[in-house]
Chain A
Amino acid sequence: MSESRVVVTVIGPDRVGIVADVAGLLAKQNVNILDINQKVMGGDIFAMTMLTDITKAAIDFGDLKKLLEEKGKELRLKIHAQHEEIFKYMHRI
């Protein structure tokens, strides 16, 4: 299975610059964004899902996950990073 594709999810109160902040972090670690989807739900809840490729990332998955979690705390958002398979398994036959 492909272990290089990671889904990054960002959820929390909306404000200016979330996409830039998270994408900036990913770029700094050489993580490639393959797809991105973002919307504001119910007027003030920001939700973004990104499909990324970590093949050429500067750090391993565990460290990337930690960095994203720290960033989430700093921005007061929930940031998750999970291998893509979990979603494929659950939602596709």
Chain B
Amino acid sequence: MTISPEEILETIEMIEQESLDVRTVTMGISLLDCSHPDVKVVGERVIAKIERLAGKLRETAKGIEMDYGIPIVNTRVSITPISQVVAGGHKDDFIYIATCLDEAAKRVGVNFIGGFSSLVQKGFTTQDIALIEAIPEALAITERVCSSVNIASTRAGINMDAVKKMGQVIKEAARLTADKDGLGCAKLVVFANAVDDNPFMAGAFHGVGEPECVVNVGVSGPGVIRAAVKEAKGKDLGEIAEIIKKVGFKITRMGELVGREISRRLNVEFGILDVSLAPTPAIGDSVAEILEAMGIERVGAPGSTAALALLNDAMKKGGAFASSYVGGLSGAFIPVSEDQGMIRAAREGVLFIEKLEAMTAVCSVGLDMVAIPGDTSAETISAIIADEAAIGVINNKTTAVRIIPVPGKKVGDMVHFGGLLGEAPIIPVSRLSSKEFIDRGGRIPAPIQGMKN
């Protein structure tokens, strides 16, 4: 046999004991040709196109899961930012389209559809404004629709008017889903430097430079990395980086195989492999616990940022070698409610938003699934968004905010979102005011880092 029994058993152990899986197979679909002055026609075209292209996505993924014995946890669809498809400038048109997207997602059996989105880093079009105003209601009345708004980029700077607006939108989304602990906010991401080919929800959309239809794959395996780091007792951090790199390579290869195979079977172009470590609420499938396995008592302790930087970089190096097309977000995620180690640290009162913010400077994305007191002001949320955007813009990386001001809840209360979205204790937010700063609005100019030509 060309493969040794030890290698076979290693693979099986990764899948069975350490929760290795392909987190998502996401089909990106361009909806640019669905535009029409009548929103009802747009809706019909959108549903028809998604059904035509993604109708066999789930079934094909299930077939690959069976053939290779690799769990494929989610199949999803991402679409052209919808503000570029709906011609009218009416909020109600966008709410209607959100219901059509929800219907399309149900028909093709995907659990999320991403792209109820707008790119406003430099300013708003009429459609952008209508879409943003529609977000809270759209997220309240639909089940599977995910929304994202890009409010900043290294090339454009930070649109502070959009930052201000998104603070209000998040508050309103929480209010309209108050009976579900503000669940609407869990489906809404505010980005800086958003990427066009991200397969992960809630922030996925199909960028304008993307082809007609494409398949992107997101792998995951915090549990596998954690097990490997745990075994490496007494080794120095250079050796730990080497171990992570090797495991990262293996994890990515599995995703590469799945991506190529699904693209072949569906006859759709293979876009990118997103080399990310995405935790789940499952025991052991935690990014925080990798840091703890390195010797940090609890995530949030001094050293957490350095440990995360090491992890993120080593994972990327292993992944870059393993796949021909690495893209998307590619890095470690630190969503609080979806990671047992994060939840534990937040519960014990040792993980704060300020430390999370620092950690987002060295890993993928940003403040993710953070539950905060319901009485946090819109301006404070905007200011948190501005801080994250600044980190992204200056460091030339993607950052994001997915934050939930849970109506009626206070610091220490628990909120339960269920499923992959998990549960989280409410963590404190500074009571100091940033209102005057946010009310100024305007645009923070693009930084010198953006002038690369």
Contacts and interface: CB of A to CB of B under 8 A. Distances in A.
B253 interface: yes
Contacts of B11: 86-87, 90-91
B432 interface: no
B21 interface: no
A3 B264 CA distance: 14
B69 A81 contact: yes
Which label, helix, strand, loop or mixed, suits the secondary structure of the B interface? helix
B67 A61 contact: yes
Interface string B337-356: 00000000000000000000
Interface in B1-29: 1-3, 5, 7-12, 16
Interface string B374-396: 00000000000000000000000
Interface string A76-93: 001011111111111110
- The listed residue with most B CB atoms (<10 A of its CB), out of A3, A82, A85, is A82
A43 B372 CA distance: 52
A47 B69 CA distance: 18
A91 B9 contact: no
> Could you say which interface size class chain B belongs to?
20 to 34
Given A86-B11, A90-B253, A90-B254, A80 B69 contact: yes
A86 B67 CA distance: 9
A26 interface: no
Given A86-B257, A89-B254, A89-B256, A35 B1 contact: yes
A49 B9 contact: yes
B335 to A, nearest CB: 27
B250 A90 contact: yes
Contacts of B12: 9, 11, 80
Contacts of A51: 1
Contacts of B68: 82-83, 85-86
A88 B12 CA distance: 13
Contacts of B253: 89-90
A82 B69 contact: yes
Contact of B69 (A11, A39, A86, A91): A86
Nearest to B70: A86
23 contacts: A7-B3, A9-B8, A9-B9, A9-B12, A11-B12, A34-B1, A35-B1, A39-B5, A47-B5, A49-B9, A61-B66, A61-B67, A78-B16, A81-B69, A83-B67, A83-B68, A85-B68, A87-B3, A87-B8, A89-B254, A90-B7, A90-B253, A90-B254
